Structure 1
Amino acid sequence: MSTTDERLRVEYVTDPAAAMSRLAGADRFGEYVMYERPGEWVFAADPIGGIELDVEELRVTWEGQTTATRWEGRPAGVVDRALGSLPLDGRNAYGWIGFEFCAWAFDATQYLDPRTTLVQLMIPRIEVRIGEFGIRVSGATPAETGDIHDLITESQETELPQPHPTDVRLDPTAYADRVAKAVGEIEANRYQKVILSRKVDLPFVVDIPATYRLGRAHNTPARSFLLRLGGLEAAGFSPELVASVDENRLVTTEPVAGTRAFGRGAEIDMAARADLLTDPKEIVEHAISVQTSFAEMASVSDPGTTAVSDFMAVRERGSVQHLSSTVCGRLAADRSSWEALEVLFPSVTASGIPKHAGIDSVFRLDHDPRGLYSGAVVTVSPNGALEATLVLRAIYQTTEGAWLRAGAGIVAQSKPQREFEETCEKLGSIAPYVVRAQ
């Protein structure tokens, strides 16, 4: 196979989101995962291998050959070992993890359909990176490299796509009733907090790459992603990391809890910020989330290395602003990156407190299986570094249709109508930018 590792003759890309949307929308490179982290955008495409884990079966593919086996143990260890068995030769892996990945750690497997996908990973042949360094392409043929150059150049000259209106207030899921039931369970001391969500089905086919481009122009995410992998298309603007483990074994998670609307004018936004910082319900919700994240981090870190920084900072994320903190620790020598992810997954701000009872409540009270919603998009390096970003503020599509989803943190002080309004505020980060497929 002819490959190149070439910096294209482009010094700076003014609109990386347009470039990534164009590469994805060109439909020339098979399945792909696009991932934006601070300072870098990567488009990984045309898998030469992959790992798919569902409730009952592990399927490992390499260069066109697939081996399927029944698996035992915990999903994180199974995936870690499967990746280790492949001749990656320095290649990265990209993919997604569904919320149901957590069921083994929290004794909730009885709620799962046997066909539920837990993990989808791919090892790409082609990677395109964009940053201050310009553009770098690896794994592509010379002809493909030229095509990539042309597509990126063309993308910089196109206008933003036009959205299709979406009504996010329609709710066939009886969300307010489910919130009221959760409040009753909290008052009965079954748990302290749970995140309940609602799904908004879209009555048309969506152009996911175009939606990503338009949405990214109006969002300020911690990370963003765009993918087509394992029969699922998705794009989103993540407000936080579930977990990252860097090459020096520093583990980081970013619990976010506490929300107000944003983008309604400077005076209104500042008033909402002040209200957020003084609202006892929001402060309690955030504080118990940080406390849980700290305990989880300490369980996988060297003693004395766990710390909280930026406690209760206000971070603006598209149509909302959140209370956010950062929790870090040094990964213990006898722990792997996947074990750290398993302990921190799902994000405490997308599940419940305590997690065991909260997750049980999610499986009982949420209207549909979550899948990628409140799961993670993940990148894995051959040196053991790993990053998993929380999937919220996203759009999803399969051959069965397209949908949005959003949730709110329910505590004893919650009011069903206010929590419904919070889901509408969060859907405002993606719903106004949905582009209908032509």
Structure 2
Amino acid sequence: MSTTDERLRAEYVTDPAAAMARLAAEDHFGDHVVYERGGEWIFAADPIGTVELDAGELRITWAGKTTARGWSGSPAAVMNNVLAELPMTGRNAYGWIGFEFCAWSLGATGYLRPGTALVHLMIPRVEVRIDTTGAVWITGADPDEAATLADTVASSRDTALPQPHPVDVRIDTSGYRERVAAAVAEIESGRYQKVILSRKVELPFAVDIPATYRLGRAHNTPARSFLLKLGGLEAAGFSPELVLSVDDDRTVSTEPLAGTRAFGLGAEMDSAARAELISDPKEIVEHALSVQTCFAEIGTVAEPGTTSVSDFMAVRERGSVQHLASTVRGRLAAGRTAWDALDAIFPSVTASGIPKRPGVDSVFRHDRPRGLYSGAVLMVSPTGALEAALVLRAVYQTDAGAWLRAGAGVVAQSRPEREFEETCEKLGSVAPYVVRA
């Protein structure tokens, strides 16, 4: 089968989210991943290979054949070795890692159930890219497929936004306020300084995930966005931050966000909330602790003296909320890989706790299993570059149902009612845009 690698010069896209949602909804190839980064949009589909890692088994599918075996060591080292051995011939890998991926590096494997999913990556045969000019590129498809995909992209033009279905995010069956109070007591006793606790909002209907992605992207300002269907899990989200980026020049970056206020309530209220955010001692302490942790973590894999902080305590707007934000960078040390850096930094400090080991222990005790929530969507290059976008502000769906999830950072000064309100503010980035199937 011949393939194309060409720019479709007749096609220019003014609404990439609509084009990506249409490609996903048409479901030409089954499993797929949509990933938005730096003005570029990618639709990756029709896996020629997959890698699935769970708490007891590694499964590799290539050219229609699946092999399964046990594994030992760290999940990051296993994934680095597997991807190095696969005949990817210049292709990227896309997929996700779950929060529970961190259990090995942080000594929490005793909390995991057998078969807990850790990683699901796919290596696509076909990619459709929309670049920063709006031009469409199709790679890996034969001419007939390319024509079909181009028609699908073209059909997304001038289509109306879908209509959402109301979701009540104030219903809480998880005892969230009580869990926050229990964590505050543990913090006051000196067990740790901070933990992020979350709550799940079950949806009483099936969700049109591609339509929700399109509508939600029209109302969000994410650092990255994603839409995926992999192995029975569907999700769409508007990531507020990068857990990790390792570029081809071996620069390692992370962008911790900590400290939150509502946004989108009007210029006067937004400005007042911003002023409150940048002067609130609780939020400042929470953010400074997160930056300090990220600085130390990057330092473990970076060349000595290259770790630095920029944009300290900038305010970044992310949909229905605004956050304190900073960027921490370093240069990856010789002999270290992007997966080593991910192992050092994951999970994001802004979705786990400080110090991270007892914070993660608290998450496993107080939160239900998280799965993709506060994990990451990955794009892995054959050159060794890697991006891991934090999975927050998302909707999730399996055959068992659909749900939303949001959390808040708990420190000694936390009040359970305020942390509950913060989860509502964050859920406001997704809940108003959920489209019923």
Q: TM-score range by the shorter chain?
A: over 0.9
Contact 1:250 1:331 in 2 (8 A): yes
Cα distance between partner residues in 1 of 2:307 and 2:136? 37
Match of 2:366 in 1: 365
Is 2:110 the partner of 1:81? no
Contact 2:56 2:114 in 1 (8 A): yes
Give the unaligned 5+ runs of structure 1: none
Cα distance between partner residues in 2 of 1:360 and 1:5? 48
Match of 1:337 in 2: 338
Match of 1:377 in 2: 377
Query: Counterpart amino acid of 1:57?
Result: E
**Residues 225-304 of structure 1: matches in 2 within 5 Å?**
225-304=226-305
Deviation of 1:157 after TM superposition, in Å, equals 2.1
Secondary structure of the 2:326 match is: strand
Cα distance between partner residues in 2 of 1:300 and 1:30? 38
Cα distance between partner residues in 2 of 1:40 and 1:78? 30
Deviation of 1:132 after TM superposition, in Å, equals 2.7
Contact 1:12 1:132 in 2 (8 A): no
Secondary structure of the 1:83 match is: helix
Match of 1:27 in 2: 27
Q: TM-score, length-normalised on structure 1?
A: 0.99
Q: Deviations over 1:42-65 (max 9, x none)?
A: 000000001000000000110100
**Which runs of structure 1 show a deviation greater than 4 angstroms over 4 or more consecutive aligned residues?**
none
Query: Counterpart amino acid of 2:218?
Result: A
Contact 2:11 2:154 in 1 (8 A): no
Query: Counterpart amino acid of 1:298?
Result: G
- CA RMSD of superposed structures (Å): 0.6
Cα distance between partner residues in 2 of 1:10 and 1:101? 44
Cα distance between partner residues in 2 of 1:80 and 1:329? 20
Counting aligned pairs with the same residue, the percent is 72
Deviation of 1:11 after TM superposition, in Å, equals 5.4
Cα distance between partner residues in 2 of 1:255 and 1:187? 24
Is 2:148 the partner of 1:147? yes
Match of 2:316 in 1: 315
Q: How many residues align?
A: 436
Q: TM-score, length-normalised on structure 2?
A: 0.99
Match of 1:164 in 2: 165
Contact 1:71 1:78 in 2 (8 A): yes
Deviation of 1:12 after TM superposition, in Å, equals 2.8
Match of 2:91 in 1: 91
Deviation of 1:84 after TM superposition, in Å, equals 1.1
Secondary structure of the 1:155 match is: coil
Cα distance between partner residues in 1 of 2:304 and 2:132? 38
Match of 1:44 in 2: 44
Cα distance between partner residues in 2 of 1:306 and 1:98? 27
Secondary structure of the 1:172 match is: coil
Moved more, 139-148 or 419-428: 139-148
Match of 2:56 in 1: 56
**Residues 106-125 of structure 1: matches in 2 within 5 Å?**
106-125=106-125
Secondary structure of the 1:9 match is: strand
Cα distance between partner residues in 2 of 1:170 and 1:408? 16
Secondary structure of the 1:10 match is: strand
Secondary structure of the 1:8 match is: strand
Match of 1:352 in 2: 353
Contact 1:379 1:387 in 2 (8 A): yes
Secondary structure of the 1:285 match is: helix
Query: Counterpart amino acid of 1:223?
Result: R
Query: Counterpart amino acid of 2:191?
Result: R
